[in-house]
Structure formats: structure tokens, C-alpha cells
Amino acid sequence: MRVILHVDLDAFYPSVETREHPELKGKPVVVGADPKGGTGRGVVSSASYEARKFGIRSAMPISRAWRLCPDCIYLRPHFDLYVPASNVVMAILKSHADKFEQGGIDEAYLDISNKVKDFDEAKKFAKCLMEEVLDKERLTCSIGVGPNKLIAKIASDYKKPYGLTVVKPDEVRDFLFPMKVGKIPGVGQKTEQALRELNIETIRDLASLAPDKLTRLFGVWGKRLHDEANGIDSSEVIEGYETKS
């Protein structure tokens, strides 16, 4: 039995800014390029959940974010704050894992297969992790618990912020099948549009399609798509992380 956790820090950049500047609490905060009154170039790096209520999302042009909410608080990134905060959180997570893989400045996979006896115990384990990060760093995270990395990652995004979702092996298909295909990591707008043209909108639709048809359409990626739609992922938690810009 494999038990994998995916830990995702909630709206990490704005959360660190709010931790350092409590007066920002409860306000819509956007971290990214300078909007320059709606004429700025560049994109949104991250947005607080208050800002997301206006439709603002990561990677959105900053000019569009300004049009959606000119009253948001716009901040340039402060990596001198984010990197140390990330390092402390990752050290906490790593100390509790059999194997640890950092996926970015704000996310990580933990293999805890030898730490717990079942998924009920894994839920308690994950809850304690969330509380430890909050107590020590005053930052919230959401955690997905699953039998593999794919399910854990999708589950961590299921309830946010400060959410905990556990998907047991026999619950994988019931969890995945109602979701839109875009929930599968790596399925972007172009792939989603191509699938929609085949009347494939949900993961259930994708899982029921013949693997050879997907291979003809998408090459090697087609086989992987079919596996992931069925919740199959044998990739290991790999220790080691290279900082990305």
C-alpha cells in the first residue's frame, strides 16, 4: 500500500505578505507585475482568495486583473520573504516523510507509506502536518492524500484553502470521474478543447475512450492520458529539487 501526500501552500505569496503585514488580512492582494493603472505589462504571480473572487488568477495579464479589480492591493514579488518561508515549511514536511519531493516553492509530495497503517491514520497524520505548519509559520496549506502522486495532487486542490481531502484506493474512480478533464495535471486549454471536439468533457468520458484512439490522437501522451483518467500513476516520490525561476 502506498500513501502519498501532496501539500500545497494556500495562495503562498499573498499569504506571506499578509503574515508580514497584518493590515492586509481580508483584503484582495495581487502579487505580480506593476499594473501601472491598467497599462502594465506582465502577469499575476499569485492572488489572495479575496482577489480570486473577482476572477483574478495566476498567469493572467496584469492589465486584465486591473480591469477586473482596480481596488485590489498590487504588490511586486518579494522573494527575500518567500524563499526563507518556503525553506522552513519544506524542512517541516521533510522531517515527517519517508521520501520527500519538492515540486515548487509552494508544493511538495510526501511518501508516508511506512508512517501509517491505513488511510484513516493518514488523515490524522495530514491534519497534524497542517496544524504544525500553521502554528510554526502562520501559513495555511491544503493536503491531498491518495494512493499515488496524481490522486494526491488533484485532491489537494479539491478543498481550498486549508482543506484536507483523502481518497482511498477504492474511491479513486468515484472521486475522479465527475470532474472535468482539465483537472488532470498537464491537460491545458488546447488539449481540453481537442477533447471537447470529441465530446469528451469529463474524466469519466476520457477513461471510457479506447487507449489506441487516444494514442492515435495524442501519441505517447494519449496512453498516459488514459492511465491518468483511470487514476493510474506509478511514478515515485523522487527526492531532490532544483530551484526554478
Residues forming a β-bridge with 61: 43
Set 50, 107, 137, 228: catalytic member = 107
Distance of alpha carbon 26 from alpha carbon 22, whole angstroms: 9
Helix axes 189-196, 211-218, angle to 10 degrees: 130
Distance of alpha carbon 47 from alpha carbon 54, whole angstroms: 10
Which of 5, 233, 235, 239 minimizes the C-alpha distance to 100? Answer: 239
Which of 11, 32, 29 minimizes the C-alpha distance to 140? Answer: 11
Query: Among this protein's residues, is 107 annotated catalytic?
Result: yes
Do the beta carbons of residue 140 and residue 161 sit within 8 Å?
Answer: yes
Identity of residue 45: S
Burial of 84 (0-12, 13-18, 19+ CB in 10 A): exposed
Question: Catalytic residues, which ones?
Answer: 107
